[in-house]
Structure 1
């Protein structure tokens, strides 16, 4: 019965339109009727059951574009899960009615960077957008490399957490933190909280640096043993280092705010021989000033982490589907598709206490 209903939906889509959020430019997001997608050979069409808001999407909304991922006007959103509504010719391993999470990119696996184990830097990294819609087309490369079956019992909105979590998993792997190490995470937005939780699950002792008082409880919920609120102390560097063993600084510091001052704090909070991961991505052209003496004589490692790989996507998916990750606590808002522009306008105020908002094209489940 379900597959017959999906076939009827397919016939309807071939001659119909669907509702979708379209980004037209800076802070210009509109709900529109657009042509419903169809699956070419090797592709899938997925009926979106849940999509999630994301800090990257907010950054794109604020700036009006993303140099690598999209240029307006374009369908918007990239974290999703749903049900396969159409299977293109030649696709094996998937059927109509399957529950899936489709990641937002896939590497080529043939370029220089892919051959050197850096698939996140692929010269032909294929991105896909359009999660805030009733349906989304999944390109053949993503079908082949980065589409995963969702086990029964796992909610769609939880499965959709796979993409951002995969970026954080890769970031943590790049930090090479060991159980018992001390990690400072600067920032308690969605990504900062994910770093806290994944690090805590790995046995790392987490100290959180947060901006607002209302972020303290969230940081503790997701694994921070100690929390320092920026506005509650006179010297944020001294106050944070005082919480590390013998006040020497943290083994690892993760910057998840994307501001120059936070980058500078990170370097001042790490111990000699430690590592700083600049995870937050400031706008192009942003400059920072760092103490070269401290870097050199402190033997400090500076690095950055960008995006994910198929391997970290699967590690993140396992965290979600195993129940180890606090998915339910992470999703703090639930809206219908028509409310997407309103949600992004509200996110711009920075007063929202929501971590992530789940968007349900079929209507918010009761």
Structure 2
């Protein structure tokens, strides 16, 4: 089969590799749709990922398709079933899994290789995170299950409280107008938040407004902290979501929060980078700084259910469609901010 193999920084090659075959407990899917994401872009630019992969390796982690081979011991699935598989599954037995902190599992099973014609799904993922796609839902939209699951996990860990009858709407700052930032905007606005979105693209900011952002600002032309204070009676936001993965922006995010705020440092920065925190501000303003990573099986299911409800038009994030052999150009376009997310068709 044809597959994308990452060999190092921006070194992505299409190669002919053996077709995968399922072992006990596994299935193989035909990848009908794979989607790109900001994590893929960072991995492509950096040449690896501290948690998920080391080159040379098959590449990509968002996909939807249909089962074409089933290993021994697999029950409840049939050839031809339309499915979406999360790119990981927790072990269920370690210190953290015993405490239901599944994203911290010390033995997460990761699965990469969606930018290929076929994908083997490990047994742990088949057991916990392989889900049927509802008939009315397109493959492309279903492929958004993994990133949206990460967003739902991030919101749950941010101390966000949905709008209540007798209380004001929570004010949330989202920094970053990539696909993840825009998903945060959509879900938070849908749940009643007043969302202030900062980004670098006027076109993407407009999309953020369509998804429910109350205020949009181009960070090239505004002071994020000062603007936030001006919109919040000089207090700051209740919750701040950092979705860029830039260390200096982590520091800016902290400055946008009110006393008692939760700052969700969601965007993964380059390995071994650091930030500076004002200890007086942290202590006397009782800030909560949260690092949030990945997702859990619960949020994977919630994500697919939300996509199936079609209450939020996240398919608008998919603004390019290309065959697999154009993947290198797709990442160049993402780097240049021409593409938010691309639909890759491995069999075209």
Q: What TM-score results when the alignment is normalised by the length of structure 2?
A: 0.96
- The reply to whether residue 356 of structure 1 matches residue 345 of structure 2 is no
For 2:238 and 2:327, how far apart are their aligned partners in 1?
A: 40
Q: Which of 52, 57, 71 is the aligned partner of 1:69? A: 52
Is 1:237 equivalent to 2:225 in the alignment? yes
CA distance in 2 between counterparts of 1:327 and 1:267 reads: 28
| Alpha-carbon offset, residue 212 of structure 1 | 2.9
Aligned mates of 1:121, 1:97 — CA distance in 2: 34
Q: Give the RMSD, CA atoms, in angstroms.
A: 1.1
- 1:151 aligned counterpart, secondary structure: coil
Which range is displaced more, 339-348 or 75-84?
Answer: 339-348
Matched, 1:29 2:12: yes
- Is residue 43–residue 137 contact of structure 1 (8 Å, CA) maintained in 2? yes
2:259 matched to which residue of 1?
A: 272
What displacement does 1:362 show? Answer: 2.5
Kindly indicate whether the alpha-carbon contact (under 8 Å) linking 2:334 and 2:340 is maintained by their aligned counterparts in 1.
Answer: no
Aligned ranges for residues 283-298 of structure 1 at < 5 Å? 283-298=270-285
Cα separation, 1, equivalents of 2:61 and 2:39: 9
Deviation at 1:327, TM superposition (A): 2.8
Mapped partners of 2:200, 2:231: distance in 1: 17
Q: Which moved more, 1:211-220 or 1:299-308?
A: 211-220
User: Are 2:234 and 1:251 aligned?
Assistant: no
Q: Which runs of 5+ in 2 are unaligned?
A: 164-168
SS at match of 1:112: coil
Q: List per-residue Cα deviations over 1:308-332 (Å, max 9, x = no partner).
A: 0000101111111111221321211
Q: Per-residue deviation at 1:213?
A: 2.6
Q: Secondary structure at the match of 1:72?
A: coil
State the partner residue of 1:5: none
SS at match of 1:242: helix
Mapped partners of 1:298, 1:25: distance in 2: 43
Superposition pairs for residues 10-49 of structure 1, below 5 Å?
A: 18-49=1-32
Tell me by how many angstroms 1:268 deviates: 1.1
The answer as to 2:46 corresponding to 1:58 is no
The alignment status of 1:151 with 2:137, answered yes or no, reads no
Candidates 184, 191, 197, aligned match of 1:202: 191
How many residues are aligned here?
342
**CA shift at 1:121, angstroms?**
0.8
Structure 1 gaps, min length 5? 1-17
1:7 counterpart residue number: none
Task: Give the Å deviation of 1:69.
Answer: 1.2
Deviations 1:50-101 (A, max 9, x none): 0000111111111111232111111110000000001111100110000000
In 1, Cα distance between equivalents of 2:125 and 2:173: 34
For 1:274 and 1:166, the matched residues in 2 are separated by: 23
Residue pairs, 1:112-151, within 5 angstroms = 112-151=95-134
1:52·1:79 contact (CA, 8 Å) conserved in 2?
yes
**TM-score normalised to structure 1 length:** 0.91
Partner SS for 2:188:
helix
The partner residue of 2:148 within 142, 165, 183 is: 165
Alignment of 1:319 with 2:302, yes or no, is no
Match of 1:104? 87
CA distance in 2, matches of 1:214, 1:140: 42
